[in-house]
Amino acid sequence: MKQPTIAKVYNTALYMRLSKDDELKGDSASIQTQRMLLNEYAQEHRMNIVDEYIDDGWSGTNFNRPGFKRMIEDIEEGKINCVITKDLSRLGRNYIMTGQYTEIYFPSKNVRYIAVNDNVDTMAGDNELAPFLNILNEMQARQTSKKVKSALATRKGKGAYYCTTPPLGYKRDPEQKGHLLVDTEHSWIVEKMFRLAVQGHGCKTIARTLAENQIPIPRWFYPMGTIRISEEKKFEWDMSTVLRILRNPVYMGDTVYGKYKKPSFKSPMVISAPKSEWQTVENTHEPLVSREEFYLVQELIEGRHRQLKSGEPNLFSRMLVCSTCGNHLHYKPNNGRKRFMCESNKITKPCPSHYILYDTIYDLVLKRLQYYTSIVQKDEDEMLEMILRSNRRNERSERRRIEEELRRAEKRLDELDDLFVKVYEDRSFGKIPGRVFETLTGKYQGEQASLTEKVSKLKEQLYKTTDETENAEEWIKLLKKYTRPTELTREMLTALIQKIVVHEKVANPNGGKTQEIEIFYRFVGNIGSQTLAL
């Protein structure tokens, strides 16, 4: 007697996925619609539903989804021998990975796979259309990725700020998406950090100061998701956090895009993009620091500002420059004497080793600033005229140099025109072969292009006018902030002075030595050199 056939029991997983892009399609792609369709199909075919596996808000190009991973774990444990999805795109939109599961993994685990709307059923044998459907699904994901990038580029072009959490000192604008507002409750922390940096303190000192003053770290105000830091770590500032804040252009009102990128729309990996690919939109929100202050801090960071052994800020760090080689003078104490020394002869190119004592440069700069502030207090017009006289003298010298360089470049261009005519004539009369003609014309064309560009730049420099009165008034305004200084501070020096050029000591015919010091002030340059008798 023939035994009755026992129907195979399919312990079934109902897998549902919805990405943010799918939400734009409306209810037809919703989790609720998928659940209804899959339940009806399973009941109609008398399948035993083990569980529902849902990934809501996950891209189909990423297979590292929590619901999908849980389903794979249940397959490995033998709980499931059938998987049903609404269509192939719900399983995934990466045709290589999707094919890997449908063509290799599921069959190797004796798991039946069904994509209801695509009429794909691995129990029915080979599904010739499935690979093509996977490719079409990936193409759709690729196009969606391009559209999303295009939309983001449009928003970014307008300066919109998109990030998981706003930077310390800012908050989201509830009335304008992508816009930042100053968070007055915390912005003072950022302002304090920049103020300390301008005064010459390094990242390590700033971090220690913030911790000693019991100022919480950014993650205390903006926890990462639901993860909050413990009370013990509330004030644990480190150098990297301080440096990241001081380096962020967002604090001068700009938004920078493109710092990170994905190698492919399929890859979840994010890598750092080269700085040349970054895009900056200026003045997108209210700044916490001025541009001058921000760039000044960047200069100090690049100079790796250090403290003196006494623990005090090095007031002249990255400010003293050697007149011979252009390198910065290093702080090198000797026999208890604080001094700055040029050591480039030991590193790169020859330069006479010379130095200047810390107290000497300190006294000189303090006296010059006291002198200028006293003039400003008595008569601003006198100070203004002094600056303008000096600038006109310096500009006349620079203008003569540019005019001479421009004259030589234009003369050579005229010579090249004559050479072109001669070469063409020689070629026409057969005096030179074609190969020589091509070599000469190529050489002349290259030189001509280079000179044309040079002439354009020189003319731009020559005819570029600067409002010296406005610059002088700006510096006088700064001077008025430091009335009758009795001591130097890093903040004062960085605000008023751009650099101090130290010359080598020279022998005086009458005995002894002299040393020339040039102080270049911000906005106005070198008002007058100082010669020290040593």
pLDDT digits (tens, 9 = 90+) for 391-428: 665 555 666 777 788 888 888 888 888 887 787 777 77
Is residue 257 over pLDDT 80?
no
| Residue 312 forms part of a structural domain | no
Number of domains in the chain: 4
* Domain CATH number, residue 77: 3.40.50.1390
Over residues 375-397, the mean pLDDT reads: 73
Q: How far apart are the C-alpha atoms of 88 and 119, rounded to whole Å?
A: 10
* Helix and strand counts by DSSP (H, E) for the chain: 16, 20
Is residue 442 located within the same domain as residue 490?
Answer: no
Is residue 111 located within the same domain as residue 249?
Answer: no
| Residue 415 forms part of a structural domain | yes
Show which of 271, 302, 333 is a domain's final residue: 302
| Residue 503 forms part of a structural domain | yes
- One-letter identity of residue 400: R
Kindly list the distances between the CA atom of residue 298 and the CA atoms of 203, 324, 521, in Å, as whole numbers in the listed order.
12, 25, 18
Over residues 191-195, the mean pLDDT reads: 90
What end-to-end distance do the CA atoms of the chain give, in Å? 124
Is residue 367 located within the same domain as residue 483?
Answer: yes
Question: What's the mean per-residue pLDDT of the chain?
Answer: 78
| Residue 389 forms part of a structural domain | no
Give bridge partners of residue 341 from the DSSP assignment.
330, 355
| Residue 265 forms part of a structural domain | yes
Show which of 450, 467, 484 is a domain's final residue: 467
Q: Which of 116-130, 165-179, 414-428 has the lowest mean pLDDT?
A: 116-130
Q: Which of 120-129, 239-248, 450-459 has the lowest mean pLDDT?
A: 120-129
Kindly list the distances between the CA atom of residue 154 and the CA atoms of 158, 159, 275, in Å, as whole numbers in the listed order.
7, 9, 21
Show which of 437, 467, 497 is a domain's final residue: 467
Is residue 136 located within the same domain as residue 196?
Answer: no
Is residue 334 located within the same domain as residue 221?
Answer: no
Handedness of CA 333, 334, 336, 341 (dihedral sign): negative
* Alpha-helical runs (H) found in 45-162: 66-76, 88-91, 95-99, 106-108, 130-157
| Residue 54 forms part of a structural domain | yes
As a dihedral over the C-alpha atoms of residue 410, residue 411, residue 416, residue 418, rounded to 10 degrees, the angle is 130
Is residue 84 located within the same domain as residue 114?
Answer: yes
Per residue in 149-162, pLDDT tens?
544 554 444 456 66
Per residue in 23-48, pLDDT tens?
555 555 688 888 999 999 999 989 99
Q: How far apart are the C-alpha atoms of 442 and 412, rounded to whole Å?
A: 16
Please enumerate in sequence order all residues whose Cβ is within 8 A of that of 314, keeping only pairs 6 or more positions apart, or say none. 200, 305, 306, 307, 308, 331
pLDDT at 127: 57
Over residues 349-375, the mean pLDDT reads: 84
Give bridge partners of residue 355 from the DSSP assignment.
341
* Domain CATH number, residue 259: 3.90.1750
Is residue 85 over pLDDT 90?
yes
pLDDT at 42: 92
pLDDT at 190: 92
Is residue 49 located within the same domain as residue 190?
Answer: no
Is residue 111 located within the same domain as residue 94?
Answer: yes
Is residue 273 located within the same domain as residue 237?
Answer: yes
| Residue 178 forms part of a structural domain | no
| Residue 377 forms part of a structural domain | yes
Over residues 134-138, the mean pLDDT reads: 50
Please indicate, yes or no, whether the overall pTM of this predicted structure exceeds 0.75. Answer: no
Is residue 339 located within the same domain as residue 429?
Answer: no
Is residue 423 located within the same domain as residue 509?
Answer: no
Is residue 226 located within the same domain as residue 273?
Answer: yes
Percent of the chain with pLDDT over 90: 13
Q: Which domain holds residue 446?
A: 398-467
